[in-house]
Amino acid sequence: MDPTPSPRLGLRYAALSDVGRVRKDNQDSGFASEHLLVVADGVGGAARGDIASSTAVQILRRLDGPPPEDMAEAVAGAIHRTHDRLAELVEEDPELDGTSTTVTAALFDGSRITVGHVGDSRGYLLREGTLAQLTKDHTFVQSLIDEGRITEDEARTHPHRNLILRAVDGVHETEPDLFDVELAAGDRLLLCSDGCCGVLDSNRLADILGSGSIDYAVVELVRAALEAGSTDNITVVVADVVEAGAAVDAETSAAASTGPMLVGAAAEQPRRTGAASKSFFRGHRGGDTGELEPVPAAAAAGVDPEALRYAPRPPRRFTWFRRAVVLGVLGALLVAAVLGAYRWSQQQYYVAVADERVAIYRGIQADLPGLRTHELAQMTRVTMASLPAYRADQVRAGIAADGLDDAREIVGTLLDLAVVCPTPEPAPSASPSTTASAKSTKKASPKPSATTAPAASTSPKPGKQSSAPASPSPTASPSPTLAPPDCIEPSASGAPSEAASP
C-alpha cells in the first residue's frame, strides 16, 4: 500500500511598491505569483537602477511555472543570466556603467521554497506569531554587526547603512546565497526592499504581518515605513501559505485573484502628472504607487548624503567638454606650481666652485633635464688651492646659504682661511762713493816712469795695506716661496669681486 502523500500547499499573495517621499524615480521592482516571489532594489542613480531591477525581475519571472527538479540551480541560473544581461546593456550603452541591483527571490514547489539572495533586500517568515529573518544582508553594517561592533538598532542609523558589498552588476561574478525553507499551512512570507526593513524593526514587522489580510499587510507596511521616515523606494511582497485548493477569499487576497503581480519599475506604468492620490493601494493594477507626486527636492535637504546615493540624476551631457575643462584646470595648476617652484629656487643661494675659484650661485644645486636651476651670481678671488683641504672639499660639495648676505659671509670666512701670498723685501743701499775711492787711489799710486815695467802683481806687499779697498757687490732681493693659485694676493678689502650673470 502506497504511503499517503503529504498535503500540497499553495500561495496567496499581494505586492506593492511606492516611490517614497524623497525619490523622484522608483528603482525597485517586484513580482508575485503562486510559484514565485521576487523583490529587486536597483542601484545606480544616474546609471538607471530601475533598468537593473526590472531586468532581474523580467528574467526571474520566467521561472513562474511548474517548479523544476533542481530549484536551486534554476534560481542561481536566472541570477547569473541577469548578470550577463546587465553586462550586455552596459556594453551597448556606457551611460549605464555602474548600475546594479539586489535580488531576493523565492521559488515555491508546493511544500517548500528555494531562496536566492544577493544584496540587502530581505526575506522573512512569520510562523505562529514568531518572525524569523531568512536572509542575511550583504552590507558593510552587517559585517560590523557580525563582528559585534554595532547592534541591529545602531545599524539602522549608521551613516553607511546603504553601502552594499554584493550586488548583481554585470561586472563582478556574484554567487547568490541559496537555501531551502520547508513551509506549513498558516505561514506568512514577506519579501521587501530596505526601504521597508531598513526603518521598521522586527517587532514592528511582526505586529503588522500578524494583523489582517495580506492586502492590509502590504499597505500597512508601506504606510508605516513612510511614517518612520524612510527616504528610499519601498517594495513589499507578502504571501500566505494555504492548503492546496483552498478557495480564494476576497478578504484574504483580492490581489491574488487577478493573477501574477508586477510592481515598481518592472511594471513600466506611466505616472500621472496631476495631483497626488491619497490612496496607497491603487486598485489592483499591479499595486504600483509610483503615480504619487514626488515630494519637492527641499524635503530631502536634511537627508544623509549616503542615503541619497540611489537618487536619480539627469544624464551626463558634454562629458568631453567637462573632461577638457578638468584637464585644463589641472594643467594650469601644474604650470603654476612649476613657476612657483622656479621663483622660490631663484631666491636660494649657495657657495661652490667655478674655474677653480670660490663662487656664489643663485638657485638650487641640482641638475634637471631641460631645466636651468642655478646661475653664477658672483665670482671671488679665493682660489681652491689656497684653502685648507677640508674647506676645499666643502666648497666642491656646495655650501648652502640662507641668502646672498649669508653667502658673502661664508666667502668672508673662507677668505680668512685662505693662504696669502708673501710680500717681496726691498733691495739693500749702495757702497761708499766711487769718487772718493778714485781720489784715494790716485794719491797713493806713484807715477810710473817710461822705462819702468808694469807691476807684476797688484797685490800689496806684506805688512802694508792697500790704498784702494774693493767696493762691496750689491745683494740680490729674496724670491717669494708661494705664488697664485696656491695663494691669493693680499688686498685691503676682503669683499668678493662682482661678476656679471652669464
Question: Is residue 41 packed enough to be buried (19+ CB in 10 Å), middle (13-18) or exposed (0-12)?
Answer: buried
pTM comes to 0.55
Among the residues of 313-372, which ranges form H helices? Answer: 319-345
DSSP track, 364-407: -S--BTTB--EEEEEEEEEEGGGS-HHHHHHHHH-EEESSHHHH
Task: Give the CA angle between residues 108, 114, 120 to the nearest 5°.
Answer: 115
Pairing assessment for the beta strands 100-101 and 234-243 based on DSSP bridges: unpaired
Task: Give the CA angle between residues 256, 218, 282 to the nearest 5°.
Answer: 70
Q: Which residues pair with 10 in a beta bridge?
A: 242
Return the closest-CA partner of residue 281 out of 272, 289, 270, 291: 289
CATH numbers and ranges of domains, the chain: 9-269+277-294+308-316 (3.60.40.10), 347-417 (no CATH)
pLDDT tens across the length of the chain (502 residues): 444 445 489 999 999 999 999 888 899 999 999 999 999 999 876 568 999 999 999 999 999 999 999 999 999 999 999 999 999 999 999 989 989 999 999 999 999 999 999 999 999 999 999 999 999 999 998 889 888 898 888 887 888 877 889 999 999 888 999 999 999 999 999 999 999 999 999 999 999 999 999 999 999 999 999 999 999 999 999 999 999 876 555 455 555 556 899 999 998 644 433 333 333 433 333 334 433 334 344 444 444 443 444 444 444 555 677 788 899 999 999 999 888 887 888 788 999 999 899 999 988 887 777 777 888 989 998 999 889 988 899 999 989 988 899 999 999 999 888 888 887 766 555 454 444 444 444 444 444 444 333 433 444 444 444 444 444 455 544 555 788 888 988 864 444 444 444 3
Q: Residue 252: its pLDDT value, please?
A: 52
Q: What are the CA-CA distances from residue 243 to residues 3, 110, 111, 162, 443 (Å)?
A: 19, 9, 10, 38, 174
Distance CA 386, CA 38 (A): 93
Number of residues that make up the chain = 502
Question: Which helix (DSSP H) or strand (DSSP E) does residue 441 occupy?
Answer: helix 434-444
Q: Residue 367: its pLDDT value, please?
A: 76
